[in-house]
Structure 1
Amino acid sequence: MTEQLSGDYDYVIVGGGTAGCVLANRLSEDPGNRVLLLEAGGNDRYHWVHIPVGYLYCIGNPRVDWMMKTAAEPGLNGRSLVYPRGKVLGGCTSINGMIYMRGQAADYDGWRQMGNTGWGWDDVLPYFRKSEDHHKGESELHGAGGEWKVTTQRLSWDILHAFQDAAKEFGYLPTEDFNSGSNEGSGFFEVNQNNGVRWNTTKAFLRPAMKRPNLRVLTHAMTDRLILDGKRVTGVAFRHKGRPVTVTARREVLLAAGAINSPKLLELSGIGQPDRLSALGITPVHDLPGVGENLQDHLQIRTVFKVSGTETLNEKANSLLGRLGIGLEYALSRSGPLSMAPSQFGLFTKSDPALATPDLEYHVQPLSTDRLGDPLHPFPAITVSVCNLRPDSVGDCHITQNSPDPQPDIRLNYLSADRDKLVAVAAIKQARQIMTADALKPYDPREFLPGPSIRSDADLLQEAGNIATTIFHPVGTCKMGNDPMAVVSPELKVHGLDGLRVIDASIMPRIVSGNTASPVIMIAEKAADMIRSSSG
């Protein structure tokens, strides 16, 4: 028997992740709104969520990760990639790299030029500033006193300072601020932490709002489908701890399940490509061909260089005495390696000097491993990862069964576009060039991956397919726009339906030139304003 959840709600938010926590806070600020937040995962009260280096123990951990995988990727020589997604309140902000990055002004101006009125850089900057609590205080570009803490990292590595000096030798100059609208240059990443502890959207937005009587939060609530009355979405059917439940939304259902699960729920509800849905035994109720299409992600190529005469995390973590020292430093001062984000140092450059803005992002790490989650190498080394910020390769994400439990079929089509192949080769060559700088000679860098014997462009591309991996930035599967493949309008309303918006990374028509967590917070902030103004 299906139970009706007690009471009526104005807004039902599906997904308690990056966007959902923001929406729950902003919409429940009005005591006249009754808000329900549904999260399929659990709470975030797990120690490795909060210790920054704990991302190593969260990714691949079924307690906090949905444990997804991509389909076999031809461009990666047939490899399937692990595809982490947060299975916890706070979503991916509970397991991600904590890097605060907005992207480039040109990204958002490009969205506006695609017909998305109100989404240019000047339009979105106030929403970045609104929730920001920047360590330098308020300025024209940054906010202070908001919920989203932005701070500096609490450790330093000589080899990373040397890498910055090396980059300067080739004209890649330091920048004071990656988030001014132009992220060109080098610097140490700012992070979403508070006194050496991860700062996720649960702490920032949700937990303070949970004190309000008009907000209810349910964890372990797996949404099965949306409920429609004709062309209006009126509620949600879900299972709470295995028990079937339905709930009604008097105003709107807000889908904030992320770039993988938002299209999944639309398709399970009969919204998408009719032929695809009919083949799975799902009755099509609304023809929307763009659902699940336009999937984009950042692929990073992890080059590794052995070094000497300097300390890296490899030696510390592989020694009992080193591990004890790391633990003691964190216990006493919330600093040191346990407080570190996956990447400390960043560099934004161009693969081709003719480009108007950087299309490469480096994540430089004082550590190395065969792949994330594996033991660190038994020798001192650094990882110089490079990703193509604006890939032309586009994939898709679709359900394969009429069931909410299996993950969708995730196909990124990495390195399928000719230009992406050229950029991959150029990225490896550029990383190699920086490592030849005089500033790094005292550390005797020796290439380990892809390996000094790999020289021709064809071999470099082949090896890129062997060592490249996702940097966990899926977007675009419910893209915003007014063209035939758009899923939502610039107000984030699903085309052709009433009572339903999608508010998460899936609405990006084009991936931003940087990390994606804080842009999703901005999207939720802007959406909350649009919702409030339309309900008035």
Structure 2
Amino acid sequence: MPSKTDNMPDSDFIIIGGGSAGCILANRLTADGTSRVLLLEAGPSDRRFDIDVPVGYARTYFDPRVNWMYQSAPVPSLDNRVIYYPRGKVLGGSGSINAMVYARGQPGDFDDWAAAGNTGWGWSDVLPHFRAMEDHDFGASDLHGAGGPLHVTQIGRDAHPICRAFFAAAGELGFPHLRDLNGAELEGVGHYQINTRNGQRHSSAKAYLRPALSRANLAVETGALVLALVIEGNRVVGVRYRRDGVERVARAAREVILSAGAIGSPMLLMRSGIGPAAHLREMGIEVRLDSPAVGQHLQDHICYDHMFEAKVPTLNSSLGTLIGRGFAGLQYALLRRGPLSMSLNQAGGFVRSSPGRARPNIQLYFCPLAYEKTTPDSKQLMKVDPTPAFSLSVSPCRPLSRGHVKLTGPQPEAAPEIQPNLLAHPEDMKEMLEAVALLRRLAATRALSAVAARETKPGPEVASDAEFERYIRSYTYSIFHPAGTCRMGRDPRQSVVDARLRVHGIDGIRVIDAGIFPTIPSANLNAPTMMAAEKGAALILGERNG
């Protein structure tokens, strides 16, 4: 039985997706009180204990109430394994369920964007927008902001002491220790910065959206599943969505802004008839605009781990026991400090896998904990053994492999076809083999040998390049940084949006999320995504104000 349809009053802007980008846009576009904004989010409020407590992402990782919990298609280059793809379905989006690492990427990443024809997206162009959003522990400087909405915490004070052994090991290989992994010099190792405030997660939903909720010109609807864009002629004029079983139509006097993420945004464009014409016809969707790049050029960061049993206490020694977890919980409840107040990714950095590399090409992670990853039917990410252990991980910064996002049907509830093609490009495997050789060199240093009892995974029996390649294809995984599926560029056949984030070939709509990245930044994507929202808001306000 069809549901009834309600019509909503016009807004100036409709934002689809209340994630890392959408919450920032909602704040910035309503700040001066002159524009009416409707923000639509398919998921619920972010006011949840497992979201507030930083280490709670171990639970939200597999919680269907706040997570789309997508699965990839079988990936041929990863032994046809199906890869788990969590995506936030909650205010704050994936920024409400991620590991909170705040890493902006390398200046060359953004200069590459500008060199490819995306005017206004070089490092000197985007740095002011990073600074505008920051309330950084290091205070104001040429590189950092203070007093901005988003708090950036330097975790060195509370990081586990075993991190010092990692820093010493890196020093033995010539990698310097950096006070600031978002500083002027990015080649080296240090403590990661994270988005927390007073020991709680500080997502864009908390930093930007909550302070704006009292504004009369902002309306926020959760549980609102957008079904399709409303297109009249050559202009997007609104959206059709479902909430509480009722279909509604909301119209935008100025623009619709699509901020549903690198998976969700291309899906909605295609369901609305904007995308590769042949694929749309295959799905039985009327073609409104043949835009071949929609859903194409999917890029993602992969990760690979080595695990070690330790001679000294690690987080396994506490979080792996009932008494230890109780003490950590009490420490957090009383002081908002301790292991529950941080990400598990406490240290790492950016290095070259070999001297011939032009710039750092590998991101390192050092985790003072080793754990078995659980499956999506579990209620939490990890199973922690009480035996002291730690892990070393590598993630290539700028992979060359490309995948796609496609529809599996025209219905809004149909899950996407995600084919990341991870490690499909031969250069990516070459880089990964260099990276695992680096892990072995780190493990062999005096500093890590002093704290590592033995390598438990993959173990010394894996030694040759051929053995490592087989192991890598069996155990490499995504670290959930999809990008590029609505990428920015000049050519409408090869890109989806222009440098002002307007969709090529149709009026009234922009895309502002990680899907617009022409090439993936060299680090975790939440900070660049939020920067893109700050810059996107500035572009829109500049046009509105003439």
Q: 1:528 to 1:78 in 2, by over 3 A?
A: same
Q: Find the counterpart in structure 2 of residue 79 from structure 1.
A: 81
Of 505, 524, 529 in structure 1, the residue corresponding to residue 533 of structure 2 is: 524
Q: Find the counterpart in structure 2 of residue 122 from structure 1.
A: 124
Q: Distance in 1 between matches of 2:453 and 2:118?
A: 47
Mapped pair 1:409 → 2:412: no
Q: Deviations over 1:97-149 (max 9, x none)?
A: 11111000000000000000000000000000011101121111111000010
Q: Deviations over 1:129-178 (max 9, x none)?
A: 01110112111111100001011225232221111101100001111222
Q: Amino acid of the residue matched to residue 500 of structure 1?
A: I
Q: Distance in 1 between matches of 2:314 and 2:80?
A: 32
Secondary structure of 2:395's partner? strand
Worse-superposed segment, 239-248 or 253-262: 239-248
Q: Find the counterpart in structure 2 of residue 235 from structure 1.
A: 238
Contact 1:109 1:121 in 2 (8 A): yes
CA shift at 1:378, angstroms? 4.1
Mapped pair 1:381 → 2:384: no
Q: Amino acid of the residue matched to residue 536 of structure 2?
A: A
Q: Distance in 2 between matches of 1:368 and 1:209?
A: 40
Q: Find the counterpart in structure 2 of residue 304 from structure 1.
A: 307
Q: Amino acid of the residue matched to residue 140 of structure 2?
A: E
Q: Distance in 2 between matches of 1:513 and 1:406?
A: 32
Q: Find the counterpart in structure 2 of residue 225 from structure 1.
A: 228
Contact 2:298 2:484 in 1 (8 A): yes
CA shift at 1:14, angstroms? 0.2
Worse-superposed segment, 455-464 or 74-83: 74-83
Alignment of 1:171-210 (within 5 A): 171-180=174-183, 182-210=185-213
Of 96, 99, 107 in structure 2, the residue corresponding to residue 97 of structure 1 is: 99
Q: Distance in 1 between matches of 2:514 and 2:383?
A: 31
Alignment of 1:109-508 (within 5 A): 109-153=111-155, 155-180=158-183, 182-308=185-311, 310-371=312-373, 373-483=381-491, 484-508=493-517
Contact 2:502 2:509 in 1 (8 A): yes
Q: Distance in 2 between matches of 1:381 and 1:226?
A: 50
Q: Amino acid of the residue matched to residue 44 of structure 2?
A: G
Secondary structure of 1:143's partner? coil
Secondary structure of 2:296's partner? coil
Q: Amino acid of the residue matched to residue 433 of structure 2?
A: V
Contact 1:99 1:189 in 2 (8 A): yes
Contact 1:13 1:36 in 2 (8 A): yes
Q: Distance in 1 between matches of 2:112 and 2:389?
A: 39
Q: Distance in 2 between matches of 1:312 and 1:155?
A: 13
Q: Amino acid of the residue matched to residue 505 of structure 2?
A: G
Unaligned runs of 5+ in 2: 375-380
CA shift at 1:356, angstroms? 2.1
Q: Distance in 2 between matches of 1:353 and 1:497?
A: 47
Q: Distance in 2 between matches of 1:156 and 1:143?
A: 23
CA shift at 1:81, angstroms? 1.4
Q: Distance in 2 between matches of 1:466 and 1:381?
A: 22
Mapped pair 1:30 → 2:32: yes
Contact 1:55 1:95 in 2 (8 A): yes
Worse-superposed segment, 76-85 or 522-531: 76-85
CA RMSD of aligned residues (A): 1.1
Q: Amino acid of the residue matched to residue 520 of structure 2?
A: I
Q: Distance in 1 between matches of 2:406 and 2:450?
A: 51
Q: Amino acid of the residue matched to residue 68 of structure 1?
A: Y
Q: Amino acid of the residue matched to residue 224 of structure 2?
A: A
Q: Deviations over 1:245-274 (max 9, x none)?
A: 001000000000000000000000000111
Q: Distance in 1 between matches of 2:258 and 2:225?
A: 13
Unaligned runs of 5+ in 1: none
Worse-superposed segment, 8-17 or 353-362: 353-362
Worse-superposed segment, 341-350 or 438-447: 438-447
Q: Distance in 1 between matches of 2:243 and 2:355?
A: 54
Q: Amino acid of the residue matched to residue 35 of structure 1?
A: V
